[in-house]
Chain A
Amino acid sequence: DAGVIQSPRHEVTEMGQEVTLRCKPISGHNSLFWYRQTMMRGLELLIYFNNNVPIDDSGMPEDRFSAKMPNASFSTLKIQPSEPRDSAVYFCASSLGVAATGELFFGEGSRLTVL
C-alpha cells in the first residue's frame, strides 16, 4: 500500500513567493495533520482535519499560512507570502479514526528553503 505522499520533496524559493505543499493521505484514513519541524522549535502541529473539516488550526503561525482539504484524498498547505523564517521541513500525516490511537503515518516531508 502507498503511504502518505507529499510533494514537492524539496522547494527552494525567494522571499515573497507563494509556496504550495501537497499531501495525499493513506486511502481510508479520515484524519490529516500538518506538522512543521525546525531545529529551534522541534515538531509543531500546525493544523489537523477530521473528515476533511479543520478541527484545530491554533498552530498555524499567522495569516500567511492556510490549509485546505477539498476531499478525502488531498490536502494543501499554502504560504503566501513566504519568508526566510518559514524554512523548515513540513510533514503531513494521516490516521484512522478520532480515538487517540496515536498511530500517525507520516510522509517523508517537504523541505522548504526560503531565501
Chain B
Amino acid sequence: AQSVTQPDIHITVSEGASLELRCNYSYGATPYLFWYVQSPGQGLQLLLKYFSGDTLVQGIKGFEAEFKRSQSSFNLRKPSVHWSDAAEYFCAVSFTGGGNKLTFGTGTQLKVEL
C-alpha cells in the first residue's frame, strides 16, 4: 500500500525567509502527488498537484513543489514566507485506478515568526 511520510512535525521560519517542507512517498509506480493546506478551524485546500510532465509544479499562493523520482520525494517550497502562511501542510498521494482516494501524510505545522 502507498504511504506518505512528512518527517517534520513542526517548522518555524521567520517572515521573509525561504521554506521547504519535506514529503516522501512509498509506492511502486508513479503516484499522483498533492499538497494541501489547512488553516485553523478550516478544511483542507489544494495548493498544487503533480501528475506527469514537468517535475516542477507551481501552485497557488506562491508555492511550488518538485517531484524527484530518484528520491521518492515531493518537497514543497516557497521563496519568501508571509505571516499568513502559518498553517498545517499535508502531502498526499493517490494512484491510477484508485479513484480520488488520497492517502495523507501526518502533516507539518508551520509557524511564522514576525
Interfacial residues, chain A to chain B (CB-CB below 8 A): 4, 31, 33, 42-43, 45, 48, 50, 55-56, 91, 93, 95, 97-104, 106-109
Inter-chain CA distance A91–B97, complex, in Å, is: 23
A106:B101 contact, CB within 8 angstroms: no
Set B32, B41, B97, B106: member contacting A102, Cβ < 8 A: B32
B101:A109 contact, CB within 8 angstroms: no
Taking the closest CB of chain B, its distance from the CB of A93, in whole angstroms, is: 7
B side interface size, CB within 8 A = 26
A56:B44 contact, CB within 8 angstroms: no
Do A91 and B43 form a contact, CB below 8 Å, given A43-B90, A102-B94? yes
Inter-chain CA distance A56–B101, complex, in Å, is: 9
Taking the closest CB of chain A, its distance from the CB of B103, in whole angstroms, is: 8
On chain A, the residues within 8 Å of B34 by CB distance are: 102
Taking the closest CB of chain A, its distance from the CB of B109, in whole angstroms, is: 11
A31:B100 contact, CB within 8 angstroms: yes
Inter-chain CA distance A106–B104, complex, in Å, is: 14
A4:B98 contact, CB within 8 angstroms: no
B43:A102 contact, CB within 8 angstroms: no
Inter-chain CA distance A95–B49, complex, in Å, is: 15
